[in-house]
Structures are given as structure tokens and as C-alpha cells.
Amino acid sequence: MIISRQITVIAAVSMFLLSLAATMALCDGSNLVIGDIIAVTVDGEKELSKPYQINGDGCIEVSMIGPVKLTGLNASDAAAALTTALNEILVNPQVGVQFLERAKMNVFVVGQVLKRGLVDVGVGDRVIQALAQAGYDDTADLSHVNVRRADEILALDLTKYLDGRDLSVNIELLSGDTVVVPRVDMVGSVMVLGQVGKTGPIPIKRDSTFRDIMGLIGNVAVDADLEKITVKRESQPEPIQINYQAAMAGDPQADIKILPGDTIFVPQTEGAFFTVLGGVNRPGQYPLKDKLMLSEAIGAAGGGTVNVGDLRKVLIMRGSRLDPKVTETTTVDLTQVLAGSLPEPSVKRGDVIYVTVHKPKLTGLQMLQYIMPFAWLFR
């Protein structure tokens, strides 16, 4: 279920990018074609300012001047052409042109999409626009999309377009094209253990790499030992050592292919510690062996000092995962946590926990003892 939700999120993000690309298609400098509908605005001329559809001759019919040919022009050039034409009847006309609707054509989208069958797209639209119209489910394989055109089959890896590696794969569609979106080829699962966001069996598709798997399970834990990550493979007697930093950077030598049945193990750093300071009975450094909650960590330090430790304001200071030189501080009201009103955070390797110290009010006797050394000032 967890992996399904993660894949669904990835699909949702990709769908947003596809929809955004489809929206931007009308304002990216595309040329006008027969059937396009445009909005023309002429300052001070209400009769001329209205929507127009480009007719079969590639023109729009403008009152008092007749047909103006616009096909093959983008919006800016079309505005310039109309300005030139209107100069015959107006003085210094100010003209604007905007796309309203592309001329339509029919293509088919089949496979792992939400709406299979005939899809209306604009003339000049590309594969991305067709997929945005059809949608797709969380098992769609965007890296192996095919476009069938007459007797020709065009193989496309649209992931290269979505991540910006190759914009040319988003080809222009022609009327009658069929877009085929295959199902992700799941070939088995791997086991992921240790200090990671999610552990357990992870379904994988063919040619998945170490970095692909790490992208599915989330970030490694703060106390993970990145120098000792291994992959255990049944066909090999010794575990494969992973260069984590190089693999995550995309180094093909380090980012090895993961096979069904592999076990990825991310160990905890040996000698993990946390520190408790402030209003506790036994401040100091303590070993972190297993998962430990905040209240347990404070308990290991003898608990809050009576009338001194303020459990309403406990600070957790932790080095940033992105930049160890940066310290992130979280304030927790442990009384609310213990009452069940707030979730309890866990303790990570290297955490410094500070229990704020009360500043108790002085009693009358304590106040007298405090000011007696200064009594000579009042003589």
C-alpha cells in the first residue's frame, strides 16, 4: 500500500507537469492554423474587438477591410499583420491577438491511461498534450511510449522530456495518430532493511537501479552509515559495497542495477549517541542503540529535575541532513505529548536535547537572604 501511494504521488506530479505543458502550448509562439479561434482587441474599437475563427483560406474576415491572412503566423506576428491592414481605416491602431482555442483533430490514446480511445487535441499539439487529455494511471510506463502513424512506429522516452534531458521526444502529433502507453514491467521485488524511510519488500521494474529504489523508499535516516551500505545477491557469496554519494549522483559505475531477490541493507552508524542537558537529574551523553522516543531519552537522563526542569519547553537540536553545519531546533511541549495531544518525536543520532530550566519565584525568606548583603546601601 505504501509503495502504491508513493507511485501515485509520482504519477500525480507528472500529471501536473503534463497539464502545465498543455496549458503553456497556447502561448509558446505556436503558429496559427485553419480552424484556430483567436481573440482580437483593437483599442477603442468595440466592433472590431471580438473572437475570430480562421477560415479554410487561412484568413479572418474583418469589418470594413475584408479578409486578412494569418495562418503560419504566431500571435505577435498576427497582431502586426492586422495592424498593417487596419492602418487603411484607423490612425495608429493598437492591436492585440490571443489564442482562445486550437483547431481540433482526433488522435487515439490506448494502454495504461484513464480515458482510453478518441481524444480531441489541437492541431500542432504534441504527445504531452494528448496524455494530459487522457490522463494515466500509476502503472503507466512513460519511458516506453509508442506513437503509431500509418505504417510507422515511433518509440519515445517521455521521462527525458519531463526531466528536461531531451525536449525533442515530445513530437508533434498528426490527425489519426495512436499513442500507446504500456504498463510498467514489474519483474519482482527486493528487500530493503536498516536505517531508511521505509523498510520491507519493494516491487521493482526491469532495469531498476539502486538510485531508483532509494527514490521509492524515501530518505535514509540521520544515523545511517552511508559508507557501509551493501546489496546482498543470492548469486554472489559476498555483499556488494555501494558508493552511496556516487550512486545518488548518477554515476553509472556506482548506480548498479538491482535484481529481483536482492537485499539492500543500510546499517546504523556504530557508536551513535545523544545528549541531554538542562533541567534533568543526570545530564550527559548516552548511547543510542534502538529507536528511542523523546520521553525515553529524558527518562534515561533521570527525568526532569523537580521544580527546575520545564517539560513544557524541550528543545531538540539536530544537524541538518542537507548541511551538517546547520543546526535545526525544534521546540516540544512534552506535557502535551504525554497527554496524547501531540505526536512524540523520536531521537536521532547526534541529537542534543535541552530541557529548559525554570526560574522559580523567590520566597520572602529567600528574598531577605538575597538583599541582606546590600543592607548597608539603605542606612
Of 220, 240, 266, the residue at which a domain comes to its end is: 266
Of 266, 292, 323, the residue at which a domain comes to its end is: 266
How far is the C-alpha of 68 from the C-alpha of 82, rounded, in Å? 7
Residues 110 and 173 in one domain: yes
Stated pTM of the model: 0.44
3-state helix, strand, coil in the chain (%, to 5): 25, 35, 40
367 domain residue, yes or no: no
Q: What is the pLDDT of residues 363-379, one digit of tens each?
A: 555 555 545 554 544 45
Which helix (H) or strand (E) segment holds residue 232: the answer is strand 230-232
What's the rounded mean pLDDT across residues 321-329? 72
335 domain residue, yes or no: yes
Are the beta carbons of 280 and 298 closer than 8 angstroms?
A: yes
**115 is written with which cell numbers?**
480515458
Residues 93 and 110 in one domain: no
Residues 176 and 145 in one domain: yes
Q: What is the pLDDT of residues 51-101, one digit of tens each?
A: 999 999 999 999 999 999 999 999 999 999 999 999 999 999 999 999 898
378 domain residue, yes or no: no
CATH number of the domain encompassing residue 129: 3.10.560.10
163 domain residue, yes or no: yes
Beta bridge partners of 153: 148
156 domain residue, yes or no: yes
- 118, 268, 300, 332, 343 from 288: Cα distances, Å: 60, 10, 11, 20, 21
pLDDT grade for 50, boundaries at 50, 70 and 90: very high
pLDDT of 296 above 60: yes
| Residue 311 three-state SS | strand
10 domain residue, yes or no: no
Domain count along the chain: 4
368 domain residue, yes or no: no
Q: Which domain holds residue 94?
A: 37-101
Residues 130 and 177 in one domain: yes
164 domain residue, yes or no: yes
Instruction: Write down the pLDDT at residue 17.
Output: 47
Residues 260 and 279 in one domain: no
Of 206, 233, 266, the residue at which a domain comes to its end is: 266
